[in-house]
Amino acid sequence: MSDVREHADDIHEQFSDHIDVSVDEIEDRLTTLVDEYKVPIDEARRSVTNHYLEEADLERDELAGGSSEDVQIEDVDEPEQWIDLTAKVIELWDPRSDAVAQVGLLGDPTGTIKFTKWAKSDLPALEEGSVYELRNVVTDEYQGQYSVKLNSTTVIEEREEDLEVGNDTSEIEGALVDMQSGSGLIKRCPKEDCTRVLQNGRCNEHGEVEGEFDLRIKAVVDDGIDAHEVIFDKEATEELTGLSLEEAKEMAMDALDTTIVADEIHEDIVGTYYRIEGPTFGRYVLADDVEELDGRIDAEELLIKARSM
Amino acid sequence: MSQAELTREVARRVFASEFNDSTYSFKESDDERAPNYALLPTGDRANRVFVVGTLTETEDVGEDSEYWRGRVVDPTGTFFVYAGQYQPEAAATLRDAEPPAYVSVVGKPRTYETEDGTVNVSVRPESIAVVDEGTRDRWVVETAERTLERIEAFQEWEAQQEAPESGSTAPTNEYAEMARDRYDSPVENYRRDVIQALEQLEDVDDAEATA
């Protein structure tokens, strides 16, 4: 079977429930684009699919996935793939929009991934802590971070067995080369479930509020191969700097300025080597375990290698 | 905004001898905001570097306004670090520093052509911090390791160029190719510098052990 024919078959399968169209007709459309207009097959398929979507008055989400694949979360590395997952609902978050029925975090032994379930898909509710087989979900990507979307063709089946969840832990050894703005003594919105960092006393969501002090560091730890963004929460910051939230507040009060805290911390940590362990969350590593690397380091092995090259 | 623009440039580890030979700089696109890279002779590009060494001397070489020059020495040579009004924190650190002291510098490579046509390479610092001896030693070992990795990749690529029929699977190495076209100092020189840097650490160890 030719390549074009295979794609035509796939598309036909996706639309067979919705409109009356023959495989031959789909193949003709693809052939015209590929042979006459020299359009790459992927683009041709996309164009033909969009044509039938319009004809059937459907959203892309509502299509049956022609060939979804059983995958593990760590393997998700491409957007717009139809996949099957078996995963546990680790956390449900509050949807920010009425269009979203549920949003949260799924996990399997290989890692975690965000999921979104649209309101219009009209699917059963997922419960925190339960394990589900999810067939026909679509992958998505935003700023290098992958997620899956449940849609009206998704089949949800609850599974009896529990699933152990791996947490994508990273270990980085490198020099802390930069501390980013928004580090040090910050103020957060005190409204329930809102922990946004205030900008000039204002919360993006709740406007002017009386903020609550917190300590955190956003830093870059670099091993000469990759630059990793690392977030230290209050506990990690206190451990790293030996500076408590109370002491930081006093310092700021004495100086009548909160930036003095960030300046002190900057001086203390930039240019120092650390080993950092913690879960990855998108492009960030959350520092759970931090160790300053100041022990002696053995050069002998490297010297033997250098001499033998 | 594309993914590439969001990615922070890594800070390369490079000894002073190789850094000062990195006289060719280039951009990957015509966009005026595209990042500038120095070409390392061992076959890599560097938009940012992290160096640790001994600050031996500071001097205000500015005419109208303060412009601080610091000499930062590693086992292979000297990095020249320049900080002026646009790098106020780094300039303040150089002004207040009391050499000799171990310092770490995060910064960008910059090239400058003198009247006689020599190209000087210097560091424009983003930050300078006073560190301890342990940090310096760790940097020397780490930089030796990264440099050896680059040399290894360069040699694999070179071997494949010389014997294409061997069917070697060494990956293409764009920057090794660029380095061979632009520079005439063999990577062997930098291997020798690595050995010298590591030997210096080991010697100190031995001296401490017998003392």
| CA A274/CA A291 separation, integer angstroms | 6
pTM of the entire structure?
0.70
Write down the H helix ranges in chain B. Answer: 3-6, 16-20, 88-96, 133-162, 174-182, 188-210
Positive or negative: CA dihedral A233, A234, A236, A242: positive
Cβ neighbours, 10 Å, residue A86: 20
Q: What distance in Å separates the CA atoms of residue A76 and residue A147, rounded to the nearest whole number?
A: 8
pLDDT tens digits, one per residue of B83-139: 999 999 999 999 999 999 999 999 999 999 999 989 999 999 999 999 999 999 999
Determine the residue of chain B that is closest to A142 in CA distance: B3
What percentage of chain B reaches a pLDDT higher than 70? 90
User: Taking the domains of chain A in order of start, what are their residue ranges?
Assistant: 3-58, 69-159, 169-292
Mean pLDDT, all residues of chain B: 90
pLDDT band at A67 (very low <50, low <70, confident <90, very high): low
Q: How close does chain B come to A28, measured CA to CA in Å? A: 36
pLDDT of residue A167: 65
Query: How many of the other CB atoms lie within 10 Å of CB of A163?
Result: 15
Mean pLDDT value across residues A4-10: 86
pLDDT at B166: 62
Q: Write down the pLDDT at residue B145.
A: 95
Which CATH code of 2.40.50.140, 3.40.250.10, 2.40.160.10, 2.40.40.20 fits the domain covering A69-159?
2.40.50.140
List chain B domain ranges: 1-206
Query: How confident is the model at residue A205, as a pLDDT?
Result: 86
Of A220, A302, A309, the CB nearest to B198: A302
- A108 Cβ contact list (under 8 Å, min separation 6): A72, A73, A85, A86, A87, A88, A163, A165, A166
| Chain B neighbors of A303, CB-CB under 8 A | 195, 198-199, 202
**pLDDT tens digit sequence for A162-213:** 887 776 677 899 999 999 988 999 999 998 778 888 888 898 888 899 889 9
Contact assignment for A271 to B151 by CB distance below 8 Å: no
Per-residue confidence (pLDDT) for residue B6, from 0 to 100: 53
Kindly report the nearest CA distance between residue A267 and chain B, in angstroms: 7
The CATH code of domain B1-206 reads 2.40.50.140
| Structure tokens belonging to residue A175 | 């020099």
The reply to whether domains A69-159 and A169-292 share a CATH topology is yes
Residue A64 has pLDDT above 60, yes or no: no
| Confidence check: pLDDT of B18 > 90 | yes
Band the pLDDT of B170: cuts 50, 70, 90.
low
Is A226 in Cβ contact with B10 (below 8 Å)?
Answer: yes
User: Between 3.30.70.141, 1.10.530.10, 2.40.50.140, 3.90.1720.10, what CATH number should domain A169-292 receive?
Assistant: 2.40.50.140
